[in-house]
Amino acid sequence: MHHSFLDKYSELESPVHRIHPLVKLCGYGVILLFTLTASIYRPLEFVIAGVLILGVVSISRIPIIYVIRKTLLLSPLMITLLILLPFIRGERILWGINFIFPISITAEGVYLSGTIAVKSVLVFWSSVLLVSTTRFPDLLYALRMVRVPQTMITVLAFMYRYVFLLIDETERMETAHRARLVRRQGLPLLMKSVVYLVRAIFIRSFERSTRVYQAMCARGFRGEVCLLQTPSIHTADIVFLFVFTGLIVVIKLAI
Amino acid sequence: MQMTDVDRTNTPVLRLKDVYYTYPDGVESLRGVSLEVYRDEKVGLVGPNGAGKSTLMTVVIGIRIPRTGEVEVLGQVLNPKTRREIRRRAGLVFQDPDDQLFCPTVFDEVAFAPINMGYPEEQVTEMVARALKQVDLEGYERRSSFHLSIGERKRLAFATVLSYSPEILLIDEPSANLDPQHRRQTINLLKSLPQTMLIATHDLDLVLDVCERCFVINRGRIVADGDVESILTDEQLLLSNGLELPLSRQ
């Protein structure tokens, strides 16, 4: 397997990596709350959130370019929003045309699209930061501590474990398909091949999930994933959480 | 059925009597399988693809329920009431480690069975450490299982079962997909383990190296039972059952 893992940089050594996963999850919640309650009419809030996130990224020794490059994953959604939202109804029309029916760009639409775009990027950066500084099992542990339903945690754990195998199997089938391709396919034939591929992936996934379930039953599984507890939080972690939350509250009140 | 001398004076630890298993699609995978394995024996189960080897392994620990026949493990007849206890005392190592390794870390993986079997936390930690030492994976506790090589994953799959010290090991294709060096490591591991073993494989040289006795299974039936030397040098028997002489005997 040669895939880039979700938590590619999670094994690095840095002060951010050493923070307890539960504290990181809480800190993530605080920064999310700060970002989501920020307004486009007070742009300084966005600037502070951005600087704060990228500052922590640089302390954690994760290349900033990696975080920014990951943001490109958002681009299809962002482009759609940036194109469509300015046309929503509003009071202040910035530009308009009468073509079959009236079309207009409103100030409210522009503000909304800007707000959503900036907030999406900041939330995405925070998420990448959290996942890149926390090993996935530790993240699951933190989620369990904040009482996320066990079923959801189990699903996440299985997804993390098997998504790469699924990608691997897809790649193998795609290679086999290409190897038998003697000339360029037309669209109908291509669509047919894609349907066969999806069907094969579905069947293989189903078969594998059956085998995994059998392996779990063979080792005493009775419907609930039981895990051992991991070490408790240190005083330094709690102090860090209070200082960080306090700082965010002060910034919020000051602006 | 071809038979040779085997010490059958003790009570068998594993006994199948006239076991039939049919898959939901109607394929009859086991057709009247009867066999006995005795304590401390290392027994091979050889046969061509689709002979019913893997099905037999899963039937023994109650993952698949036979249509008819009786399975007895360590004196307990397999039924829904005894299934849990049987799974505690007989461990199955699957052919593909990716089917067997599903936890986020190596530690969680090895601890999965002891935790589910209700062992206390301190004992689980000890069991994990001991199992990882047995398969030479000490220090791997915090790593993710899918970051390991295929050879390491195979050994980890063994550790997941060795952690709760089953008395019987059922091992499905232990050398599948392994390079020669990892195959040799696996053979050495199998030889070093004290448990009673039933090893399903195509790798006849591995059977020659590890086992004292072997069964030949074909089309869901046991067609031969005897010591490895006499079975695995019988070219006629092997050829008629989709096998051939081991490379070391050619």
pLDDT at B151 (0 to 100): 87
Q: What is the largest CA-CA distance in chain A?
A: 69
Q: Which of B98, B100, B102 sits opposite A158 (nearest CB)?
A: B102
Q: Which two three-digit tokens encode residue B95?
A: 């052919």
ipTM: 0.80
Number of folded domains that form chain B: 1
| Integer Cα distance of A52 and A29 in angstroms | 14
B63-106: pLDDT as tens digits: 999 999 999 999 999 999 999 899 999 999 999 898 888 887 89
Q: What is the pLDDT of residue A229?
A: 59
pLDDT tens digits, one per residue of A22-37: 999 999 999 999 999 9
User: pLDDT grade, residue A223 (50/70/90)?
Assistant: low
Nearest CA in chain B to A221: B116
A-chain CB neighbours of B113 within 8 Å are 219-220
What whole-number distance in Å separates Cα of residue B80 and Cα of residue B87? 11
* Both structure tokens of A254: 């000051």
In B101-200, alpha helices (H) = 106-116, 121-134, 150-162, 180-192
Instruction: Give the end-to-end CA distance of chain B in Å, rounded to a whole number.
Output: 24
- Residue B29: give its domain's CATH number: 3.40.50.300
Does some domain include residue B142? no
The residue type at A176: A
A140–B160 C-beta distance less than 8 A? no
Is residue B110 assigned to a domain? no
Closest by CA position to B51, among listed B175, B200, B217, B202 = B217
User: If you write DSSP's letter for every residue of A133-185 in order, what string do you get?
Assistant: HS-HHHHHHHHHHTT--HHHHHHHHHHHHHHHHHHHHHHHHHHHHHHT--SPP
Tokens 């063979």 — which residue?
A218
Residue A253 has pLDDT above 70, yes or no: yes
The pLDDT-based confidence of A4 (bands split at 50, 70, 90) is low
Q: B200: domain range?
A: 8-98+165-243
Task: Give the residues across from B28 on adjacent strands.
Answer: B22
Q: What is the pLDDT of residue A230?
A: 63
Instruction: Name the band, by pLDDT with cuts 50, 70 and 90, for residue A228.
Output: low
- Which helix (H) or strand (E) element contains residue A98? strand A93-99
pLDDT at B166: 95
- pLDDT, position B3: 45
Report the residue of B102, B141, B162 to disrupt the A interface, i.e. the one with the largest count of A CBs within 10 Å: B102
Q: Which residues of A touch B131 (CB under 8 A)?
A: none
The predicted model gives A87-99 an average pLDDT of 75
Does residue B7 carry a pLDDT above 60? no
Picking from A121, A115, A113, A75, the residue whose alpha carbon sits closest to that of residue A94 is A113
CA distance A3 to chain B (A): 11
Q: What is the pLDDT of residue B2?
A: 46
* B95 or B177, greater pLDDT: B95
pLDDT band at B4 (very low <50, low <70, confident <90, very high): very low
Cβ within 8 Å of residue A255, ≥6 positions away: A42, A44, A45, A48
